[in-house]
Structure 1
């Protein structure tokens, strides 16, 4: 159910459960989730997130909110969920289709979504913030019942991956299928060698692409922890390049991110060496996503050559030319 009238009805039903007077929703985006800006005549602005049905359980969403609480308590500027009239922070609604849908209300965060014209210095700030995020993740004692998805080759690019199965992507060819399958076999072997020790693998944001950042002056803020989960810490840098892995500025973005990260945390040569594998795996995960979201404006905006460019990136990675400046 994605028609605006039905979504607005759901938004009003959710808002009725919060202590807000004359709250007015305005549709911001329809992607994995549906996001509304919420304005009130005399109060602060909010964001209402209507979750994609069947993607996260209430327990998974509650775990995301628990991490946000813990991050905020350490001084990190992250989204803050608001309680409803009954004190609960997760609303469960049913639309006209009868499918349950979870909703969460957050405080509004100021800033502008960056484009590919972003000042590379913003990536340095992003690296520093991500290092703080990872430091918190490594020492935080997760509460009982904490549950989030685990992002590994099986769940990112396997046949049962939540984002889709990459051979079904638009524009797939037999040669492209063989190329990607070979890349993924090598990626899996490299990740197995790299390992999942606690210094390398833990709770991460997992979707730090440009659309999930807000730039305000000299501040880079993280939003949308909806895909946070257990994975390799370096995956957060791979995700920061999402959809733009072949952009001419991508090497500069990586360099600035690494510089910023280094001011707050430590990286080893092994961490740098595994990055190209994580980048190509993420690109293939996004290729799978284009197959399950082929009719969306976001996928159409990528252009008809996006799958072909993905093949070119796979060839570059196979031949050791993806982010080769790190070596």
Structure 2
């Protein structure tokens, strides 16, 4: 055995992205440029004719091939039902999903998508745009409730345990930076109460099903009057109202949060009903999402997105937990 054969494969998503180009028709081959690094590495592919594609290089061990194919099957069904969704590009072999492993590089799954034009919204987004998002989300949920999923369909379930439990895929909130013993105790009490509320709320089919699960501002593109939802990589089974909690990710304590929620609900109810129990569970879901994001921040501390949150974000997260426990969050959103 040579020394090269003994060397462990390196993790190099840039090399994966470059090697993946040969899997696609000439018209889809270009220069991959890193757009963002989160769970996956996402690249903009600049084509010779001036067009663009998006290449998603999957994080190893996060989703297996069957889970990714299940995501793509849902996207295909959504488009057939007239709902805007990302469009994957078939490779030369006719497949959407490929596994790429250049010599000496640890292999990863890749999927190429057609480029979607638009601008990523910020916290300054017009609150009325949340009404549009609520309508889109209601259509997603209506499709989810009615869709007969294909055999072998498999996606992760986002439950209390998988979001804030000790073995949650996004990490442990206990490892968030800057938390003292008192802060730990506050979050732990919030987690316990949230678990009890969600157990009472239940997982009946009218409340729990296939959702996007990461409908935050970073996964929206605004183009004129159109709102495009992107990045279904975390889609899975959870509470339908979780998509509202995710919509305000990282901005749960923003002054406009109550207005955002009100507009979202108004838009949603134009298509699907929101019951009183669904409204009452929102403070628990919103707080749980914030705690989940604390865990994610701890496991992604060196990323630009986490650094952009600033040094006080975790402290503000603890304050949100206090507001939840004291009932102030429920009063703020009027639910």
What does residue 248 of structure 2 align with? 241
Counterparts of 1:153-302 in structure 2, within 5 Å, are: 153-302=160-309
What does residue 14 of structure 1 align with? 20
Normalised by the size of structure 2, how large is the TM-score?
0.94
Contact 1:20 1:40 in 2 (8 A): no
RMSD: 1.4
C-alpha deviations, 1:84-131, integer Å up to 9, x for none?
001111111225664221100001111110001111121110000000
What does residue 49 of structure 2 align with? 42
**Secondary structure of residue in 2 paired with 1:322:** helix
C-alpha deviations, 1:254-300, integer Å up to 9, x for none?
11101110111110010000011000000000000111011111111
Instruction: Call closer, same or farther: CA 1:95–1:314 in 2, change over 3 Å.
Output: farther
Q: Distance in 2 between matches of 1:277 and 1:8?
A: 40
Instruction: Call closer, same or farther: CA 1:209–1:97 in 2, change over 3 Å.
Output: farther
C-alpha deviations, 1:134-191, integer Å up to 9, x for none?
0000010111100000000110001110000110111121111111111111111111
Counterparts of 1:122-141 in structure 2, within 5 Å, are: 122-141=129-148
Contact 1:6 1:96 in 2 (8 A): no
**Secondary structure of residue in 1 paired with 2:120:** coil
Q: Distance in 1 between matches of 2:315 and 2:104?
A: 38
Q: Distance in 1 between matches of 2:154 and 2:161?
A: 18
Question: How many residues are aligned here?
Answer: 323
Q: Distance in 2 between matches of 1:137 and 1:44?
A: 33
What does residue 30 of structure 2 align with? 23
Q: Distance in 1 between matches of 2:68 and 2:125?
A: 31
Between stretches 29-38 and 142-151, larger displacement belongs to 29-38
Q: Distance in 2 between matches of 1:285 and 1:87?
A: 38
Normalised by the size of structure 1, how large is the TM-score?
0.96
Q: Distance in 1 between matches of 2:47 and 2:65?
A: 27
Contact 1:92 1:100 in 2 (8 A): yes
Q: Distance in 1 between matches of 2:243 and 2:103?
A: 38
Question: Structure 2: where are the runs of 5+ without partners?
Answer: 1-10
C-alpha deviations, 1:221-265, integer Å up to 9, x for none?
100000000000000000001000001111111111011101111
Question: Structure 1: where are the runs of 5+ without partners?
Answer: none
**Secondary structure of residue in 2 paired with 1:206:** coil
Contact 1:251 1:323 in 2 (8 A): no
Q: Distance in 2 between matches of 1:95 and 1:151?
A: 33
C-alpha deviations, 1:200-224, integer Å up to 9, x for none?
0000000000000000111111000
Q: Distance in 1 between matches of 2:104 and 2:171?
A: 23
**Secondary structure of residue in 1 paired with 2:88:** coil
**Secondary structure of residue in 2 paired with 1:105:** strand
Q: Distance in 2 between matches of 1:29 and 1:39?
A: 15
**Secondary structure of residue in 2 paired with 1:120:** coil
